[in-house]
A and B are shown apart, each in its own frame.
Chain A
Amino acid sequence: KNQVEQSPQSLIILEGKNCTLQCNYTVSPFSNLRWYKQDTGRGPVSLTIMTFSENTKSNGRYTATLDADTKQSSLHITASQLSDSASYICVVSAIQEKLTFGTGTRLTIIP
């Protein structure tokens, strides 16, 4: 059964600090992996997409990594800002299969 597990479930860090969110998946055969950011009261917005051949991709202060061998991805946030407070959802796509969503990590940035 295709599954996506995210850790930690929630995280609180001080403004300006870095953090890393984890995503482990058992989806097969792998097609791609997306990280979404969901602000409170809003729908998810795509941050980045990783395909099989990509190891690292950056979007501003967000850097996603993918290890297709160990089936792990991480989202690193550098120099966090208050606006980074949100839920971060990992979504994995399998070939000819529907998307598999993680439960998300709730990130809170405190001043």
Chain B
Amino acid sequence: ETGVTQTPRHLVMGMTNKKSLKCEQHLGHNAMYWYKQSAKKPLELMFVYNFKEQTENNSVPSRFSPECPNSSHLFLHLHTLQPEDSALYLCASSQGYLPGQDYEQYFGPGTRLTVT
């Protein structure tokens, strides 16, 4: 295992529901990430947190709301999602974060989200 856990592993929700994805890392890292992985598309970076502070928001719709209470935990709160939001949501962590610097990212297994 990579030291990054995600729950739930699978989630089916209606467009009017509110749900949250949880990520926890046991590696002592300072940076955490949310990615969206859709079929036949590259991984899309959504958010980056470094030392609990949000450092990247890649024009993600407001129906996705991240929360990082400490360096070990990361949440993604979901509300009024659309069917096109169905995808695999991956969490990752790394020792640090700086664009262009090589910090190896360790990924969790992902949450398979289906919006009906």
**Distance in Å from the Cβ of B76 to the closest Cβ of chain A?**
15
Instruction: Determine whether the beta carbon of B41 is less than 8 Å from that of A99.
Output: no
Is B66 interfacial (CB-CB < 8 Å)? Answer: no
Q: How far is the CA of A33 from the CA of B87 in the complex (A)?
A: 25
Is A93 close to B, CB under 8 A? yes
B4 at the interface (CB under 8 A from A): yes
Q: B102 near A43 (CB under 8 angstroms)?
A: no
Q: Let me know if A101 is at the binding interface, CB within 8 A.
A: yes
Interface membership of chain A positions 59-79, coded 1 if the CB is closer than 8 angstroms to chain B and 0 otherwise: 000000000000000000000
A-B contact count (CB 8 A): 51
| Chain A interface category by residue count | 20 to 34
Which of A4, A42, A49, A96 meets B102, CB within 8 Å? Answer: A49
User: A96 → chain B, closest Cβ, in Å?
Assistant: 4
Beta-carbon contact of B104 and A41 below 8 Å: no
Point out the residues of chain B lying under 8 angstroms from A93, CB to CB. 100, 102
Contact A44:B107 (CB < 8 A) given known A89-B43, A101-B43, A103-B42: yes
CB-CB under 8 A from A44, the residues of chain B are: 43, 90, 107
Q: Annotate A36-61 by CB proximity to B: 1 below 8 A, 0 otherwise.
A: 00000111111001000000000000
Which chain B residue has the least Cβ–Cβ distance from A36?
B107
* Chain B proximity mask over A71-97: 1 for CB below 8 Å, otherwise 0: 000000000000000000100011111
Q: Which residues of B contact A (CB under 8 A)?
A: 2, 4, 40-43, 45, 56, 90-92, 99-102, 104-105, 107-110
Contacts beyond the supplied A43-B109, A44-B43: 5 A-B pairs with Cβ under 8 Å: A31-B100, A31-B102, A43-B110, A98-B45, A103-B42
